[in-house]
Amino acid sequence: MARCPALIIAAPASGQGKTTVAAALARLHARQGRRVRVFKCGPDHLDPHWHELASGALVHPLDLWMTGEDDCRRRLHAAAQQADLLIIEGVMGLFDGEHSVAELARRCGIPVLAVIDASAMGGTFGALVHGLRSYWPDLPWAGALANRVAGEGHARMLQEGLSDATDWLGALPGIGSGGSGRGKPGGLLPERHLGLVAAQELPDALARLDAAADALAATPLGRIGPHELQRWAVDFAAVPEAETPAPTLAGRTVAVARDEAFCLVYAANLDTLRALGAQVALFSPLRGEPLPDCDALWLPGGYPELHASALAERHALRAQLQAHVDAGRPVWAEGGGLLALLQSIAMPDGSELPLWGLLPGRAALQQRLAAIGPRELRLDGCEPLRGHSFHYAVVQDGAMPVLAQATRPGAGTAALQGAEAVYRCGSIRASFFQAWFASSHQAVARLLGDGPQA
């Protein structure tokens, strides 16, 4: 058993300011010398960049379906042994989805801090807090923080509307971002079409976090010290280690593109490749680094559309990629990796940008989401490979054979709604589906190994 203070930062809906508050709280305690570990609920690649900068530690996802409850418990137990405070940022609304943030809080006994956008709210704030707290009688609870508050008078009105005074953890001015995907670049944590801009892309990212931490320091939540944090201490039980996978990728080198164009990478996926025996060779296409000497290539998700001109100019790398494919060596391209291999992408402003052109098709970037939510890929003889879908682009004019479909969890016609095609073109397997490798070692070995290709 490992005991450590822990909070889940949740909200009644997306766009309330969870990410800003979670990162600000992590930064506030980290700069006071405490060891802080942050996790992100759900499949998210971008918010963790901010949490890693704020805490100085790697951030992993917690997802009762995609990563599994045992994986969540293992990571929380391990972090609790090393940290002074655990912070878990929720996803969507507190009770949203079958595997909701509230369910994680209840199963693991972690108290919930509700962040509520109170910008156009008065006494209803108290009703909303009461509802969140009492909707599930056994939900662990910490309190509520009002965000985007107009001033002291507004804050006082909100506080007086609470039925339980102990729920009040303070008020913040409008320092949050606009909510995932809403494209409000003027926020403290700016956004674009897939969510927050990654922290490493902004030279003043740490200053932005410090500003948020300073604002939080003036609230009752921000003034809670190490001894008072013990009110939220949680006992995290040990869970048996996962079974060691067979070294099905032993002796193979898997090259992985990793830079601003290919930045949506779960660190745990790299860990899985190594656990399967592979050597992982990272390289940056944007910086003109050549394709490493490798047996297989993984092109992760990212923003190739924002760097299309630079990528298209990497003629030597493009030739190396073509030679890799011509030699029959596997390529797994997901999300932005798929886009990069297409002929071109049409942007919302009407322009069309060239890409690498290893796949016969073009893409169009829409202004609305094309797909979102959990998906699983079933390949013959393999455990389902779990993951998710979240993208604005669609493939057009592509005459590519479809190997399989990554479908929604469950069965029947509902599972097929929004299914993501997995395209097969020579040794390339490509899809908007983005995988959690640990969910199916067999499928990963099938996609990147030297055996019969999927």
Q: Is the pLDDT of residue 266 over 50?
A: yes
- Over residues 22-80, the pLDDT tens digits come to 999 999 999 999 999 999 999 887 889 899 999 999 999 999 999 999 999 999 999 99
Residue 66 backbone phi and psi in degrees, to 5: -70, -50
Is 244 part of a structural domain of the chain?
no
230 and 262, same domain (yes or no): no
230 and 267, same domain (yes or no): no
Q: Is the pLDDT of residue 418 over 90?
A: no
Q: Is the pLDDT of residue 133 over 80?
A: yes
Under 8 Å between Cβ of 64 and 249: no
Give the residue-averaged pLDDT of 220-227.
95
Strands of 34-96, DSSP E: 36-41, 60-62, 85-89
- Over residues 146-167, the pLDDT tens digits come to 999 999 999 999 999 999 999 9
pLDDT given at position 186: 36
- Give which of 28, 25, 38, 34 is closest to 75, Cα–Cα: 38
Under 8 Å between Cβ of 340 and 318: no
pLDDT given at position 396: 86
pLDDT given at position 332: 98
Report the alpha-carbon distance of residue 94 to residue 101 in Å, rounded: 5
CATH number (domain holding residue 330): 3.40.50.880
How would you classify residue 289: left for phi > 0, otherwise alpha for psi between -120 and 50, otherwise beta? beta
The percent of residues in the chain predicted with pLDDT above 90, rounded, is 81
pLDDT given at position 201: 62
Number of domains, the chain: 2
Report the alpha-carbon distance of residue 454 to residue 444 in Å, rounded: 10
Q: Is the pLDDT of residue 183 over 50?
A: no
**Helix axis angle, 101-108 to 69-80, nearest 10°:** 60
pLDDT given at position 413: 66
Is 245 part of a structural domain of the chain?
no
Report the alpha-carbon distance of residue 292 to residue 198 in Å, rounded: 26
356 and 232, same domain (yes or no): no
Average pLDDT of the chain is 91
293 and 211, same domain (yes or no): no
203 and 347, same domain (yes or no): no
Is 363 part of a structural domain of the chain?
yes
Report the alpha-carbon distance of residue 264 to residue 387 in Å, rounded: 13
293 and 415, same domain (yes or no): yes
206 and 308, same domain (yes or no): no
pLDDT given at position 179: 42
Under 8 Å between Cβ of 29 and 36: yes
CATH number (domain holding residue 102): 3.40.50.300
Q: Name the residue with tokens 């990563």.
A: 67
Under 8 Å between Cβ of 119 and 150: yes
Q: Which domain holds residue 27?
A: 2-236
Is 311 part of a structural domain of the chain?
yes
Buried b (16+ CB within 10 A) or exposed e, 200-224: eebeebeebbbebbebbbebebbeb
Strand 362-365 relative to strand 393-396: parallel, antiparallel, unpaired? antiparallel
- At position 193, the amino acid (one-letter code) is H
Q: Is the pLDDT of residue 103 over 70?
A: yes
314 and 420, same domain (yes or no): yes
- Over residues 67-76, the pLDDT tens digits come to 999 999 999 9
Is 262 part of a structural domain of the chain?
yes
Is 314 part of a structural domain of the chain?
yes
What SS3 state is found at 129? helix
pLDDT given at position 189: 60
Is 243 part of a structural domain of the chain?
no
Q: Is the pLDDT of residue 184 over 50?
A: no
Under 8 Å between Cβ of 171 and 155: yes
Give the residue-averaged pLDDT of 96-111.
96
pLDDT given at position 193: 46
179 and 269, same domain (yes or no): no
Under 8 Å between Cβ of 24 and 89: no
- Please give the helix or strand (H or E) that residue 79 lies within, else none: helix 69-80
21 and 58, same domain (yes or no): yes
330 and 202, same domain (yes or no): no
113 and 258, same domain (yes or no): no
Distance of CA 219 to the CA centre of its chain: 28
pLDDT band at 175 (very low <50, low <70, confident <90, very high): low
Domain boundary among the residues 205, 236, 267 is at 236
Is 423 part of a structural domain of the chain?
yes
pLDDT band at 367 (very low <50, low <70, confident <90, very high): confident
Report the alpha-carbon distance of residue 111 to residue 144 in Å, rounded: 11
- Please give the helix or strand (H or E) that residue 101 lies within, else none: helix 101-108
Q: Which residues contact 152 (CB under 8 A, 6 or more apart)?
A: none
Q: Is the pLDDT of residue 176 over 80?
A: no
Q: Name the residue with tokens 């890693």.
A: 52
DSSP 8-state assignment for residue 286: T
